[in-house]
Amino acid sequence: MNIDQLRQSLKDKWLTYYQENRRWLIRIAIWVNCDGQRRPSSSFILGTLSVLEPRLTELLPLVVDLSNNPDRIVIALGLNFNPDEMLERASGVRAELDDRRVFLPPAKPSISEQLPRRRPAHQDESCEGTGRSSRTQ
């Protein structure tokens, strides 16, 4: 199990969950300040992610044996950030990329589009082909 991939997966799943449920999450009393970051409590984040990411449930028993402090676990997993700020940054980056796409040159036509088009075959009921000289024997 690659820990960097797991961290990225956890971050993506947490932000997606937060974005989809933000309307009610901002109104409940789960918010804390940890190392200068305003975010939902570590217990809430870990509980939510244990449902969203099955690999985390395999890892948590080991992690808890090393540290039973949920804030330290969240920090170690790379989740100590304000989700509103992170979503705002992500939307800014997306908008910047969309702006750059406008200035890209148009795509080149494919090879098949560059080839001259053939005229459709002329139907010849005698199956001798058109424009052929007749064979003499």
Specify if 121 maps to a domain. no
Write out pLDDT tens, residues 36-68: 889 999 999 999 999 999 888 888 898 888 889
Residue 124 falls within a domain, yes or no? no
Q: Which of 49, 2, 124, 41 lies closest to 132, judged by CA? A: 124
- The residue segments making up the domain with residue 84 are 11-102
Residue 21 lies in a domain: yes
d(CA 84, CA 103): 30
Residue 42 lies inside a defined structural domain of this protein: yes
The rounded distance, in Å, linking the Cα atoms of 53 and 131 is 71
pLDDT of residue 10 exceeding 60, the answer is: yes
What beta strand segments (E) does the chain contain? Answer: 31-34, 37-40
Residue 83: the pLDDT is 94
Tell me, yes or no, whether 131 lies in a domain: no
pLDDT of 132 higher than 90: no
Q: Is 71 within a domain? A: yes
Total domains in the fold of the chain:
1
Q: What is the pLDDT of residues 13-43, one digit of tens each?
A: 999 999 999 999 989 989 999 888 899 999 9
